[in-house]
Amino acid sequence: DIQMTQSPSSLSASVGDRVTITCQASQDISNYLNWYQQKPGKAPKLLIYDASNLETGVPSRFSGSGSGTDFTFTISSLQPEDIATYYCQQYDNLPFFGGGTKVEIK
Amino acid sequence: QLQLQESGPGLVKPSETLSLTCTVSGGSISSSSYYWGWIRQPPGKGLEWIGSIYYSGSTYYNPSLKSRVTISVDTSKNQFSLKLSSVTAADTAVYYCARLRPPTHPFDYWGQGTLVTVSS
């Protein structure tokens, strides 16, 4: 099975800061990488699919990049409503999630 | 607007079988484009994919759970179901059903989730 290493596990940033989360796959997964936001008590919400495509209705401050084994998720300007846990998810025959990154406001 | 809703017992005894159903509304589960899946999240922990099914009945499971999991589909009721056998306290979690969108299989629609507690 492909292992996903997501980092950091948590971060604290100020409103307006640029926030970056990374996900590394144990082997090449092309662009088969998706990103989710989960707020407490809620189901995850798809933000980015195919590594870099913004899901319909998702604010443009969210973006993703990468291919192969190394992927990056970015919030260009952190907003108070972005406080959540973010997960990457790969698909290489089977879908698996990264461990998550909890984003807090400093 | 597609909606998914999980249903089933919130309390299951150890060694018994956990059974949940996901009812899909606003769209057909028989659509040839999509897979349907189950994901769980133990309290305070991350997301774990359990398994997925196509409307034709073909399934694929998380290898770590495969020996205990059965996922089935009932197209006449627009539902798919999860059975997890021989449960222990470690299976206590919020269980979500979701739709997977090919080819990169993002989970694009989710149910609200249902908490299942394993306890005697």
- Reported as a single tens digit per residue, the pLDDT across A31-61 is 999 999 999 999 999 999 999 999 999 999 9
* Averaged pLDDT, B2-17: 97
Could you report the per-residue pLDDT of B61-108, keeping only the tens digit for each?
Answer: 999 999 999 999 999 999 999 999 999 999 999 999 999 998 888 999
DSSP state of A55: P
Nearest-angstrom CA–CA distance, B110 and A8? 26
* Averaged pLDDT, B112-118: 98
Stretches in chain A below the pLDDT threshold 70: none
Smallest Cβ–Cβ distance between B106 and the set A46, A99, A100 belongs to A46
Smallest Cβ–Cβ distance between A44 and the set B62, B103, B110 belongs to B110
Half-sphere exposure of B11 (CA within 13 A, CB side): 2
Q: Are A38 and A84 in contact (CB under 8 A)?
A: yes
Which residues lie across from B114 on neighbouring strands? B95
Nearest-angstrom CA–CA distance, A44 and A88? 11
Q: Helix, strand or coil for residue A81?
A: helix
Check whether B10 has a pLDDT greater than 90. Answer: yes
* Cα dihedral B28, B2, B47, A21 sign: positive
pLDDT of residue B31: 80
Which site among B48, B54, B107 would you substitute to test the A interface, given the most A Cβ atoms closer than 10 Å to its Cβ?
B107
pLDDT of residue B39: 98
Cβ distance A49 to B106 less than 8 Å, yes or no, reads yes
Cβ distance A44 to B47 less than 8 Å, yes or no, reads yes
**Nearest residue of A to residue B40, measured between CA atoms:** A43
Residue position matching structure tokens 């082997």: A27
- Any A CB within 8 A of B108 CB: yes
pLDDT of residue B28: 92
